[in-house]
Structure 1
């Protein structure tokens, strides 16, 4: 399954929550599913609830289905609780860190910055969004990257408050990973146990 490139607000309305990594737009008054019958209340099945929670992760972090399945298998092999480990692995992606540090307005835009080699990881230009950051890593934008209007606007007014697991250097316009992110620091409501149950019977 390919990466989603369609209307982002429509996805958030379907999932019933705002996903900061997908879009800066708010649901506003149209906080109901899209479509002719969107305003009619519907009772969700157990599968439906699990699917919605899984799709929140997939769309917020901009992953394909195969990518999130690989991460789930890795999280399942870890000693930590599977759900918590899965969220940690997602938050540690380089493109997500670039977004959470305020270099880009969304994770989608952050991925583009990384792909075009506007991001420096420990002083070296990289172009792989899925690189996993570790404690002590320092991430900054290149001189060219800082001049991109989108990045400059995001630095002036970040989409989200920067999390406690990174330290932002205003003078050097860089961010350092201080520790591993915790499950409760994900910037949107998520019942990760439903995701675990979804994949438990499918992988």
Structure 2
């Protein structure tokens, strides 16, 4: 499945949750599902609940279905709880780290900035959005990127409070990975066990 490029607020209304990685907008004023006069609430099946939780992750992090399956396979192959490992792998993506550090207003914006060689990891340019950071890695701006309005605005008004697993140096404008992120670090409510169950029947 290709990357979603349609109306973002509509997706959040359909899922009934705000996804900060997808959009800075809020569904507070229009919490009802999209549709004429607001779609009526429907009874959600077990499969529907699993699909909804999986879609929260896919849309927030901007991933295709093939990418999600690869991450789920990696999470299952690792030691420990598969759901917690999946959350860790999603949060460790460079485009997400750029967003969570406050360099970009959304993950799609962060992905574009990474693709355009605007970020360094440990002093070296990295233009792969799916690059997995490790504890101790330092993410910083390449010199030309420091004058970009989108980055300056985002750093002044970050979309989210910077997570505890990222150590922020305001003077140097760098973010250091202090430790690996946990499931509780995801910035929206998620029932990860339903995501694991969804893929358990399809992989």
Moved over 3 A (4+): none
Note the C-alpha offset of 1:29: 2.2
1:62 aligns with 2:62: yes
Which residue is equivalent to 1:161?
Answer: 161
Provide Cα deviations, 1:27-59, integer angstroms capped at 9, x if missing partner: 022111111263412111111110000000000
Q: Distance in 2 between matches of 1:88 and 1:168?
A: 19
The alignment covers a number of residue pairs equal to: 203
1:23 aligns with 2:10: no
Q: Distance in 2 between matches of 1:122 and 1:47?
A: 43
Q: Distance in 2 between matches of 1:155 and 1:144?
A: 16
Secondary structure of 1:89's partner?
helix
Which residue is equivalent to 1:120?
Answer: 120
Q: Distance in 1 between matches of 2:8 and 2:141?
A: 26
Which residue is equivalent to 1:147?
Answer: 147
Q: Distance in 2 between matches of 1:38 and 1:180?
A: 41
Which residue is equivalent to 1:44?
Answer: 44
The residue correspondences of 1:120-199 to structure 2 (distance < 5 A) are: 120-199=120-199
Larger displacement relative to structure 2 (105-114 or 138-147):
138-147
Which residue is equivalent to 1:200?
Answer: 200
Note the C-alpha offset of 1:99: 0.3
Q: Distance in 2 between matches of 1:48 and 1:147?
A: 45
Q: Distance in 1 between matches of 2:14 and 2:30?
A: 11
Q: CA RMSD in A?
A: 0.8
Secondary structure of 2:196's partner?
helix
Secondary structure of 1:53's partner?
helix
Q: TM-score, normalised by structure 1?
A: 0.98
Which residue is equivalent to 2:96?
Answer: 96
Q: Distance in 2 between matches of 1:191 and 1:156?
A: 32
Which blocks of at least 5 consecutive residues in structure 2 are unaligned? none
Provide Cα deviations, 1:122-144, integer angstroms capped at 9, x if missing partner: 11111100000000000011122
Which blocks of at least 5 consecutive residues in structure 1 are unaligned? none
Note the C-alpha offset of 1:11: 0.5
Q: Distance in 2 between matches of 1:63 and 1:3?
A: 6
Q: Distance in 2 between matches of 1:52 and 1:166?
A: 29
Q: TM-score, normalised by structure 2?
A: 0.98
Note the C-alpha offset of 1:79: 1.1
